[in-house]
Each structure stands twice: as C-alpha cells, then as structure tokens.
Amino acid sequence: MSQKTAFITGGTRGIGLGIAEELASRGYDLALNGVRSAEQVQNITERFAKQGTKAHYLQGDIGSSADRERMLSELKANFSRLDLLVNNAGVAPRERNDILEATESSYDWVMNINLKGPYFLTQAIANWMIGEGRGDNDFRPTIINISSVSASLASVNRGEYCLSKAGIGMATQLWATRLAEYGISVFEVRPGIIETDMTSGVKAKYDQLFAEGLSLQSRWGTPSDVGKAVAALASGDFPYSTGQVVMVDGGMTIGRL
C-alpha cells in the first residue's frame, strides 16, 4: 500500500500543527495549508523532512474558490492519493463585537473562511476520494472537521464565530450521510480552550476560569491533545461511528449541578 497522506488546512500553526505532528509520528506524509508565504513556513517543512516526513506546503485562502482550485491541482500533482482531509483552518472575528453591534463585513469574513471554505473544499476532495476509491476495497479515506465548543456554547460578542462552528456540526452530519455509501467516514472534533497563538490574548482570563473550575480537568488543552484525537479517528479504529462528535474539552461542557 502506498504511503498515507493527510491534507490539513491551517496546518502550520496552533491546533493544525499539533495535528500534523501527531500524524507525522504515525507515518503520514503531509500537505499543509496556510496563508503565510512558503518562506515563512520553511522551517516547519524542513523540520518534518529531517524526521523523514514529506511535508508539502499549499499556500492559499480556503475561503477563495480560486485558491481552493489551485491547491487541489497542486495536491494531485504531488500526491498519488489522499487518505485524510482535516478541515482545521479558521479565524476568530478581528474585533469581538456584541451581536447588537456586529458588522456584515466581519460576518462575511469569518463565515467565508470557517464554513463556506471547508464546505466546498470537502466537496472537491470527496469527489477525488470517490474516484480514487473505485475498485480499491482497501482504500478507506476519512474526513475530519475541527469545530469548537462554541458550536453549542453561546458567546454574544463573537456570534459569527459560534454560527460558523455550529454550521460545521451540521456539515459533518451532511457529509457523513452523503459519503457513507463510498466508505468515507466523516467525524467532528470539538476542542475546548486550547493554548495557541489565537488564545494568547485571553490567557489571564482563562487561567482564572480554570482555577475556578471551568472544566473537570483543570488545565488548558494543547494542540497535541487535539492531534491525538484526530489520529485515533483516522486510524480506522472507529469503523461504525461515522458522523459522530468527539469532545476534546477536558469535560468543560458536561452539565453540572
């Protein structure tokens, strides 16, 4: 069997990089997407290369149809097939505005990247996977969407973000339903409060909340925590669970009295 390959959007920093590192440790070659220039992420791809992992960088904005089309062409040119798509790339609002004051420009920017982009990227990748899988009963590709506890927890000062992650939840169910006949499993991973550059500005706030019992496991989550969950789902060890959600939140969303 040829080398397994994973395509991770937003795969050169934060949660995406944690996922990439875990998959590399399990023998995957990597296609990593981001918006930074190739020169800015060269240290990351070179580090993977030194570990024996092929890591090809696909620069582009997943919210752009032209960028998605170009990245798919480049992906096909560099890899014979794709075993795993991880829709991880996402943005928070540039400004956290109350929903009574939120702007359409912020809404469109967040939804374009967080929801529209993954939806149509999945469409394109799924069609490729279907084509590659015809006649090969051993090819069992997987699609994993990274959402957030914000899919079900309301934050009125970043409504567009919450809506985008709730939409990812339904997209997971839709793709799981549509792709089951082709043997393609689809899962959703919902991280809680993960220590990344995106959350660095609210570190003091959440340090205090963890100390006050925000989650059952009173610590920040790490990109590695999410990476391990993704790798477990991609392993094929959950063959009868397509469409399901895996929480990686330290028990934060468990209802308590």
pLDDT digits (tens, 9 = 90+) for 178-202: 999 999 999 999 999 999 988 988 9
Residues 44-62 have pLDDT tens digits of: 999 999 999 999 999 999 9
pLDDT at 1: 45
Report the distance separating Cα 229 and Cα 237, nearest Å.
12
Does this model's pTM top 0.85? My answer is yes
The answer, yes or no, to whether residue 12 has pLDDT greater than 70, is yes
Decide: residue 81, CB within 10 A, 0-12 exposed, 13-18 middle, 19+ buried.
middle
- Nearest by Cα to 7 from 132, 129, 149: 129
Residues 111-170 have pLDDT tens digits of: 999 999 999 999 999 999 999 988 788 899 999 999 999 999 999 999 999 999 999 999
Q: How far apart are the first and last CA of the chain?
A: 51
The answer, yes or no, to whether residue 207 has pLDDT greater than 70, is yes
The answer, yes or no, to whether residue 215 has pLDDT greater than 80, is yes
Decide: residue 117, CB within 10 A, 0-12 exposed, 13-18 middle, 19+ buried.
buried
pLDDT at 2: 60
Residues 141-153 have pLDDT tens digits of: 999 999 999 999 9
Write out the catalytic residue numbers. 161
The pairing of beta strand 142-146 with beta strand 185-191: parallel
Mean pLDDT score, 9-29: 98
Residues 66-93 have pLDDT tens digits of: 999 999 999 999 999 999 999 999 999 9
What crossing angle do the helices spanning 42-50 and 14-25 adopt, rounded to 10°? 20
